[in-house]
Structure 1
Amino acid sequence: MTLDLLHDLLRPGRSSAGGALAANPQPDVAAQLTARLQARTAQIGIIGLGYVGLPLAAACGRSGFAVTGFDIDPVKVDGLNAGRSHIDALPSSELQRLLDAGRFAATDDFRRLRDCDVIVICVPTPLSHHREPDLRYVVTTAATIADSLRLGQLVVLESTTYPGTTEEVVKPLLQTTGLISGADFFLAFSPEREDPGATQFSTTTIPKVVGGDGDVAGGLAEHFYSLVVERIVRVNSLKIAEASKVTENIFRAVNIALVNELKIIYDAMGVDVWDVIDAAATKPFGFMPFYPGPGLGGHCIPIDPFYLTWKSKEFGINTKFIELAGEINASMPGYVLARLERELDRRLGLSLSRARLLVIGLAYKKNVSDIRESPALAILATLLQRGCPAAYHDPHVPEIPRTREHATLEGQKSVPLEERYDAILIVTDHDAVDYTRLAALAPLVVDTRNAMARRHLIADHIVKT
C-alpha cells in the first residue's frame, strides 16, 4: 500500500481551487444534484474503463445520462472514441450507438472531472509482491479528483478493498480541498459485481449495494444507481458496503479451496470428485455446489481476501481460515503439473522436457478473454521454464499481451487444433473448443475442468484431475 504517497498528499498546506468555496457552502447542493439526476441532465464521470467501468458507463448511457469515461491509457481512449470496444461485455456496435447519441465519450484529460456531477472510481486494487494491498490507483485517483473537486459532486468508489478505505483514504484526500464530505460534496461506496462471461446477469440486473458517508450521501448514491440498476440494496455505512464485497469473494475462495482439497483426497482414493459434487448437489437444502479447478483467476477471488487479512492485523487478528484457503488455491497449478508429469511418465514414458504439450484455455474462466491472474499463465510459464515445448489454444485470446507477472509470455500466439501432441492439458473449458477433435490429437488428455465427461467424451487416455 502506498502509505508514503498518501501521507505526502495529506501534508499540511495542500489545497485546491475548490477550497475557497468551502467557507460558504450552499445548503441546497444535494437538492440540486437530486433534481439533475432525476432529469437525466447530470453529467456522469467514470474513472477506469476496464471490465467494471466500461459496462457501467454503457449502462448509464443507456439510461439517458451523458457519460464521460476517464482513463490514463491514450490508446484505449482513442480506440473507444473510434467505436472499438476492448471487452466482451460491450460490443463495438453498442459502443458506437452510444457515441452517435452523444451518451459517451472517453478522455485522458482529467481536468474535465470538474464538469461531472457524479464521479465513479473503477480503478484496480491489486496486491503488492508481499501480498499487501496496493492502493496506488485509488490514492492517485482520489488526489486527481481533489484537484478539481467542486460543490455538489457525488464521488463513489467501486473498487474492491478492505473496510475503511473510503473513509480513511479517499475522504481525507478529497477534504484536503477544504470542502467537507456530507455538506459540500458527497461520498459513497458501491462495490462492483461484474461477472465476465455470464449471460444471465448484467450491470443493470445485478443488485447494487450502496453505502454513504452519512444519510444524505447514501440517499444520493441510492438515487443515482436506482436510475441505472434494477434493484438497490442500501446499507447503513461505508464499511458495511466495503465488507459485503470482501465477504462475497472470501466465501467463494474458501469454498473453492475446500473442493480443491477434496479433489486431492478423493483422487488418492480413486473417487471422482465431480460425481461426488453432482450427487451432493441433489440435496435441496444446506448444500451449494462449488467446483475444483487448476487454481483461481480473475481480479477478485485470488486478491480480495488478502485485503481483509492485511487489515485484520491492525486489530491483532490472524485470519487463519482465509489464509489457508489462499494457500490451497495457490498450490493448485503445482498439483496439476505434478499430476500431468506423473501421467506422462506412467503412460508414455516421457518427462515434461521431452513432451510436446498443448494447453487448452488461457483465460481465467470459460467463454471470456480475461486473463487477469489466470492460473493458465503460471502453468504455461512453468512448462516453458522446465524446457517443455508447450503451446496454447484459446479462441478468445489470440495473443498473450504483456502481463506483470509473466512478461516472458508476451506475444505468444494461440495455435489451431491441427497438429498432434504428446499430451493436452485442459485448463479453461471454453465452449468454442472442438473437444471431439481435441481428444484425437494426443494419446493423453489431462482435464482439470471435467470438460470431456460433460460432453460424454470418455476414454482411457482422458484423465480427470
Structure 2
Amino acid sequence: MDKYKPEIVANSVANELIRKIQDKSARIGVIGLGYVGLPLAVDKAIAGYEVIGFDIQQRRVDMVNQGVNYIGDVVDEELRQAVSNGRLRATTDYDEIKNLDIVTICVPTPLDKNKQPDLTFIRNSAQEVAKRLHAGMLVVLESTTYPGTTEEEVKPILESTGLKCGTDFFLAFSPERVDPGNKLYNVKNTPKVVGGVTSVCTKVAATLYSNVLESDVFEVSSPKVAELEKLYENTFRNVNIALANELALICDRMGISVWEVIEAASTKPYGFMAFYPGPGLGGHCIPIDPFYLSWKAKEYDYYTKMIETSAVINDAMPEFVVDRIYRILNRFKKPLNGSTILILGVAYKKDIDDMRESPALKVISLLEKEGSHVIYNDPYIPTFTLAGKVYNSVPVTAELLSGVDLVVITTDHSSYDYDLIVERASYVFDTRNATREIEHDREKIELL
C-alpha cells in the first residue's frame, strides 16, 4: 500500500497537527477501553504514539496499567510492551485530555427499553472533551450511531466552547470495524473509512489512521456517509441472517436440511453469498445497529419494513429452538419440565468471551420458565448471572454427557470434542452445524 500523503491545506493549525501526527509527537487519548477502544489504544501505542486511555471503570484502568489483558482481540505481549515502554497508560481523570492533541471516542451506543438510540455515553464523552478542548485538537467518534450524530450532537457540544470546527479544531467520524474472534482481520489490517465535518477535518483524521494502521484509508464526503455505511454493513448481515433463519423455518416444515440447501447454493461462483442460520443473533452490533437506522429513517417519514421484519425473525429464533427441544424430548416421552438440558456455549459466537445479547441466554431463560433443569459449559465464560440466578460452567465429561436428557449446541467453540459429545450423549441438538464432520452416531444428532 502506498503511504498516505495528506494534501497541504490552507490552515496552519491543521498543518501543524499533521506534522505532529507524521513525526509521532502527537499525544493521543482513547475514551472507552472496551472491545473497540483497547485494541485501538494498543495499536496506536505500538505505532509509536504516546497514548492515554480513559475509562470510568477503575478495574479496567488498573488492569491496563498492570499490563493485564481482558480483551480477546488484543495480543497480550503487545499490551505489556506498550505499557512497559511508557507508550500506554490508563486513567479515570479526564483532566488529562487538556494535554492531548487527538481524542478518539469509543463508547457504547445501546438501545433504551423502547429500542431507541441511547446516546448518553457519547454526549457525556463529548462534554468531557469540550471542557478541555483547545485549538489544534482532533476529535474522532468511532462509536456506531445513526447518521447525523457527529454533526448534530457532538459538534454543537464542542463548539459551545467558542472554538470553530474545521478552523480551530477538527472533528470526524470513523466507524469501528471490530469482529471479535476473527483470526484474519483485526483493527490494524481492516480498511478504514473516514468522514470529516470539513475536508480539512477529513485530511487530518485520515493522516492519523494511515500512520497507525496497515490498511487503506477510504475518505468519504461527510460524517453522515461514514455513519450510514457502518449501519449498512451490520444491517446487511442482519437481513441476510434473517433470510437464512427464515429458510431454516421453512426447511423444518418441509423436512429438508437447511445446511444442505445452503451448501448446494454455495457452489454457484457468482451472485450468491452464504449466510447461516442459528439460535438467534448476539453481540453489541448486529442485533442493535439496524434499530438505529430504522429509528432515524422515521425522521424522514420512511419505515424500514425489511429491516424491522428481519429483526422480528431473528428475535424469534430462541423460541424456535426451544420448540424444537420440546419436540425432540417429546419423541423420547420426556417433558420439558424436569428434563436436564446441557447448553454448550453461552458466548454469542465461537471462540470469544463476549456474551452480550447472546441468544443462548434467551434459550436458557425460556427453558427455565418451562421447568427444565439447565446446566451449561463455556470454556470462555466460567460464570454468569441471569435473572438473579448464578450459573457456573460445568466440566464436559463422559459421565455428564451420558447423564443429561439432551445436549444443545448453541455456540460452536473450536475447543469442544464433538466426537466425544456425540458418542456419549443420548441425543444432541446442534443449532450451529458444529457436528457436520462427525460420521458416527448420526442418528443421535438433530440439526437446526
Query: Could you tell me the TM-score, scaled by structure 2's length?
Result: 0.95
Secondary structure, counterpart of 1:440 in structure 2: helix
- C-alpha distance after superposition, 1:415-459 (max 9, x if no partner): 101212110110000000111221234312110000112344552
For 2:227, which of 219, 226, 242 is the aligned residue?
242
Distance 1:103 1:349 in 2: 63
Contact 2:422 2:441 in 1 (8 A): no
Aligned to 1:198: 182
Alignment correspondent of 1:255? 240
The answer on whether the counterparts of 2:423 and 2:441 sit within 8 Å (CA) in structure 1 is no
Q: 2:347 aligns with which of 350, 360, 363?
A: 363
The answer on 1:29 being equivalent to 2:9 is no
Residue 146 and residue 455 in structure 1: after superposition, are their counterparts in 2 closer, same or farther (change >3 A)? Answer: farther
Task: Kindly provide the amino acid, as one letter, of the partner of residue 418 in structure 2.
Answer: Y
Q: Give the match's secondary structure for 2:388.
A: helix
Equivalent residue in structure 2 for 1:442, among 425, 435, 446: 425
2:108 paired residue number: 124
1:167-211 Cα offsets, whole Å, 9 max, x none, are 111111111111111111100000000110011111111000000
1:408 is aligned to 2:370:
no
2:31 is aligned with 1:73: no
Q: Measure how far apart 1:384 and its partner are.
A: 2.1
1:116 and 1:103 mapped to 2: Cα distance?
14
Identify which of 325, 331, 348 aligns with 2:310: 325
User: Which residue matches 2:153?
Assistant: 169
Q: In 2, are the aligned partners of 1:421 and 1:441 still within 8 Å (CA)?
A: no
Match of 2:396 in 1: 417
Code of the residue aligned with 1:408 in structure 2: it is G
Q: Pick the aligned partner of 1:459 from 436, 442, 448.
A: 442
TM-score, length-scaled by structure 1 = 0.91
- Report the more deviating stretch, 45-54 or 91-100: 91-100
C-alpha spacing 1:381/1:408, structure 2 compared with 1 (3 Å): farther
Which blocks of at least 5 consecutive residues in structure 1 are unaligned? 1-25
Q: Deviations over 1:282-310 (max 9, x none)?
A: 11100000000000001110000000111
Instruction: Give the alignment's Cα RMSD to 1 decimal.
Output: 1.3
Equivalent position amino acid for 2:228 in 1? A
Q: CA deviation at 1:115?
A: 1.4
- Output one character per residue of 1:112-131: Cα deviation in whole Å (capped at 9) or x when no partner: 11111111010000111111
For 2:167, the equivalent position in structure 1 comes to 183
> Are the equivalent residues in 2 in contact too, given 1:367–1:430 (CA < 8 A)?
yes
How many angstroms does 1:390 deviate by? 0.5
Moved more, 353-362 or 381-390: 381-390
Question: Could you give the per-residue CA deviations for residues 379-404 of structure 1, whole angstroms, max 9, x where no partner exists?
Answer: 1122223321101111111111x5xx
Amino acid of the structure 2 residue aligned with 1:412: Y
**Alignment partners' CA distance in 1, 2:11 and 2:272:** 52
Match of 1:10 in 2: none
The answer to whether the aligner puts 1:85 opposite 2:69 as a matched pair is yes
Partner of 2:87: 103
- With over 3 angstroms needed to count, the CA separation of the structure-2 counterparts of 1:118 and 1:455, relative to structure 1, is farther
1:60 CA displacement:
0.7
Unmatched tracts of structure 2, length 5 or more: 1-9
Deviation at 1:353? 1.6
Q: Percent same amino acid among aligned pairs? A: 48
Q: State the one-letter code of the partner of 2:393.
A: S
- Structure-to-structure mapping, 1:321-360, within 5 angstroms: 321-346=306-331, 348-360=332-344
Change (3 A) 1:133 1:458: farther
Please say if 1:143 is aligned against 2:146.
no
| Secondary structure class of the residue paired with 1:453 | coil
Pairing of 1:51-66 with structure 2 (within 5 A): 51-66=35-50
User: What is the number of residues matched between the two proteins?
Assistant: 434
Query: Which amino acid in structure 2 is aligned with residue 417 of structure 1?
Result: V
Which letter maps to 1:282?
T
Cα offset, 1:79, TM superposition: 1.2
Quick check: 1:452–1:458 contact (8 Å CA) kept in 2? no
**Shift in CA distance, 219/298, structure 1 to aligned 2, threshold 3 Å:** same
Counterpart of 1:447 in structure 2: which amino acid? D
SS in 1 for 2:53: strand
Residues 77-86 or 378-387, more deviating: 378-387
Who is 1:217 aligned against? 201
